[in-house]
Chains A and B, each alone.
Chain A
């Protein structure tokens, strides 16, 4: 496997895992708050 190909696969893997997990964590915080607000409204 050439160095460029290896680096490209590594980069894609890192972007996919690290940034995806981070972004999903942020969305989770936001959506958790929206759920809380809707529960309050229902009450």
Chain B
């Protein structure tokens, strides 16, 4: 193992995300702009004007619905942008939200504010244009890097998602382990696993072998981490700690090695290493 790998402080694994306060606050405007409808609805009840009650309460509900859909659409778009390989969101939520906003604005302008029908349509079209200009359209194209060697977006995306879920699971189990040395080692393993996931996304050509490798090793790391965290709560055993240490060492060194092999397009002995780990996990009795 390289010395630099040991000395560098590992960071907890995090999915790559389009971070930022501005990004997270996008879509909140739709909650603020129609706020005047709340006193309008309240006053309609006070004055007992049934048509205004329907118009204003209906408008409030529609704008809230649109805001919720818009925020979900923005989150789906963010997820799409974060990934190198992925499918477009299942539902065009931003477009649905834009249509709801346009129809509701026209409805409020016509029946609430008392504008003519055509002026109300202009209000609706203005709102629709504003929504598309401010929030854009939903992503609709599959994202796939060149040289996918016949693997579908679905296959690659599923592999990456599964691997990321396992890495997060290992991080969670790591939080329950009260041993600094193990914590550090597990973080290093997660960091290497994250880098391997990145390599797969950049070059999905070796996905079959990498998937097999990630499945067995990440599964192994997840099982032993969860198992150790659980056993540690019940009773401390020196033998168990030693076995856990051995398995972690193996996993860590193999991850570093395999990352290098993937980078060098040398995946010939991945299968052999997978069998070795499977045998070791059984032998050490930690899973």
Q: Are B52 and A18 in contact (CB under 8 A)?
A: no
Q: How far is the CB of B172 from chain A (nearest CB, A)?
A: 38
**Dominant secondary structure of chain B at its interface with chain A:** helix
Knowing that A19-B34, A28-B40 touch, tell me 6 more A-B residue pairs with CB under 8 angstroms: A6-B134, A21-B105, A22-B33, A24-B115, A29-B44, A29-B47
Please give, as numbers and ranges, the residues of chain A lying within 8 Å of B37 by CB-CB distance. Answer: 22, 25-26
- B285 part of interface (Cβ distance < 8 Å): no
Q: Which one of B125-133, B141-149, B224-232, B253-261 is at the interface?
A: B125-133
Name the residue of chain A whose CB is nearest to the CB of B55.
A25
A19-36, CB < 8 A from B: 19-30, 32-33, 36
Which one of A13, A14, A15, A22 has the greatest number of beta carbons of chain B within 10 Å?
Answer: A22
Q: How far is the CB of A26 from chain B (nearest CB, A)?
A: 4
Given A13-B130, A17-B130, A18-B33; A26-B109 close (CB under 8 Å) = no
**CB < 8 Å: which of A7, A10, A22, A28 contacts B34?**
A22
Q: Are A10 and B123 in contact (CB under 8 A)?
A: no
Q: How far is the CB of A25 from chain B (nearest CB, A)?
A: 3
**CB < 8 Å: which of A14, A25, A26, A33 contacts B127?**
A14
User: Beta-carbon contacts of B65-78 to A below 8 Å, as 1s and 0s?
Assistant: 00000000000000
Name the residue of chain B whose CB is nearest to the CB of A27.
B113
Q: Are A10 and B36 in contact (CB under 8 A)?
A: no
Q: Are A18 and B43 in contact (CB under 8 A)?
A: no
Q: Which 8 A-B pairs have the closest CB atoms?
A: A10-B133, A25-B112, A10-B134, A13-B130, A24-B113, A14-B130, A26-B40, A22-B36
